Amino acid sequence: MMIAVPVDETKEALCVSFGRAPYVLFYDTEREQGQVRENPAAQSEGGAGIQAAQFVVDGGAQALVTVRCGENAAQVLQAAEIAIYKAQGSAKEALEDLKEGKLPRMTTFHAGFHGIR
Amino acid sequence: MTVAILSGKGGTGKTFLSVNLAAAAEQAVYIDCDVEEPNGRLFLRPRAVEQRAVTTPLPAFDGARCDGCRRSVDFCRFHALVYVKGKPMVFPDVCHACGGCSLVCPQGAVREEARTVGAVETGARDGIQVVTGILNTGEASAVPVIRAALAAGLGQEDTTIIDCPPGSSCSVMESVEKADYCVLVTEPTAFGLHNLRMVQELVTLLGKPWGVVLNKAEGDYPPLEQFLKETGGTILASIPFSPELAALGAGGKLACRRSPEFKALLQGLLTRLREECGA
């Protein structure tokens, strides 16, 4: 299974923002290998969450582990049937927690930051 | 002449000045571009009001034609489009209605549907034509409704007053774009002055001539004098703080029709504005 984790500049800790995270870690649980890729939405003028969600969908992820997630991004991820899990801190620990079934599913999604409701 | 009335801060008296200025002109067009809370009509009480819907185009995809090339999705810089599980998906709140997606789609799979975002109301009373832009609650962008209100009201009379939204964002830029002159309304408070600076920067960037109307004035306000010295601006008129004017406004009355002093002040301001506009 491919798991996407938005990470900050350290490339090791979860980024507090999903849409604006500088990198996304794509972790393949079968091959036990991760690849850190630049998030094309990080510098986006608008709709960053939507664009980042598209990036995660295109990366073949089946799950996303994130600190928080906006409504629009959640809609894209749900349409793509990608499970959204909530975590913070170290990406490595979060992936271990996910493997052990200790991560909760994310159920609340924040509104956009551009004054759209 | 087309005069835009604006202020950074809300509650300084934009609408109060706009409706009374239009009424003092006797023959005028009043355009309410404060489309999120258009209140001018409450004072001017237009008759024979007609309403017309304002729509913006929203893309809709024909699944049978779409071959998944993703050109429209990649083209959308606002990221209003995504492609998930072999299907394009639209985010109406994020779409800026630029029409680009339908232009770049090689399959002709994008159709534009009209989405109603608000309305423009037109009416008249006592020589004043009243044009009101009304944005539907929850809509993100005021710009399409402002454009429609301006299109309905501009070029009809010698004197056109544009009542702008507060702030200094896109909606304000849109409202002042066609104006010959900008009247910046302020009040003698730190908040009023701070936001006056913001709109002064904006209208200067847009190359508009401008002047200040000080509302609720109580004697001198030295920080404003200092600001005008720095920017080369002038006070066109100073409306004194007056419980009588405030009560008339709060009662939905046109203060200029009840207070001869206020009417004289506004007529002086109109003369000054005509000189400034070279009209």
- The CATH number for B90's domain is 3.30.70.20
**Number of domains into which chain A is organized:** 1
Tokens of B155: 């070029």
B163 and B71 fall within a common domain: no
Share above pLDDT 70 across residues of chain B, in percent, rounded to a whole number: 100
Residue A60 has pLDDT above 70, yes or no: yes
Q: Per residue in B70-88, pLDDT tens?
A: 999 999 999 999 999 999 9
Q: Write out residues 89-148 of B within 8 Å (CB-CB) of A.
A: 89, 91, 93-94, 138, 140
Q: Per residue in B187-227, pLDDT tens?
A: 999 999 999 999 999 999 999 999 999 999 998 899 999 99
B223 and B179 fall within a common domain: yes
Query: Closest Cα partner for B117 from B81, B151, B141?
Result: B141
Domain-embedded: residue A45: yes
**Number of domains into which chain B is organized:** 2
Domain enclosing residue B84, as ranges: 63-108
DSSP assignment, residue A26? E
ipTM of the complex: 0.90
Shortest distance, CA A79 to any CA of chain B (angstroms): 7
Domain-embedded: residue B95: yes
Domain-embedded: residue B114: no
Closest in B79, B85, B89 to A47, CB measured: B79
Query: Hey, is the C-beta of A46 within 8 angstroms of any chain B C-beta?
Result: yes
Instruction: For chain B, give the mean pLDDT.
Output: 95
B176 and B250 fall within a common domain: yes
How many residues would you count in chain A?
A: 117
Q: CATH no. for residue A26?
A: 3.30.420.130
Query: Hey, is the C-beta of A79 within 8 angstroms of any chain B C-beta?
Result: yes
pLDDT band at A114 (very low <50, low <70, confident <90, very high): low
pLDDT band at A112 (very low <50, low <70, confident <90, very high): low
Q: Please state the pTM of the whole predicted model.
A: 0.79
The Cα B208–Cα B206 span in angstroms is 6
Three-state DSSP at B60 gives strand
CA neighbours within 13 Å on the CB side: how many for B180?
16
Query: Hey, is the C-beta of A50 within 8 angstroms of any chain B C-beta?
Result: yes
Closest in A45, A47, A57 to B80, CB measured: A47
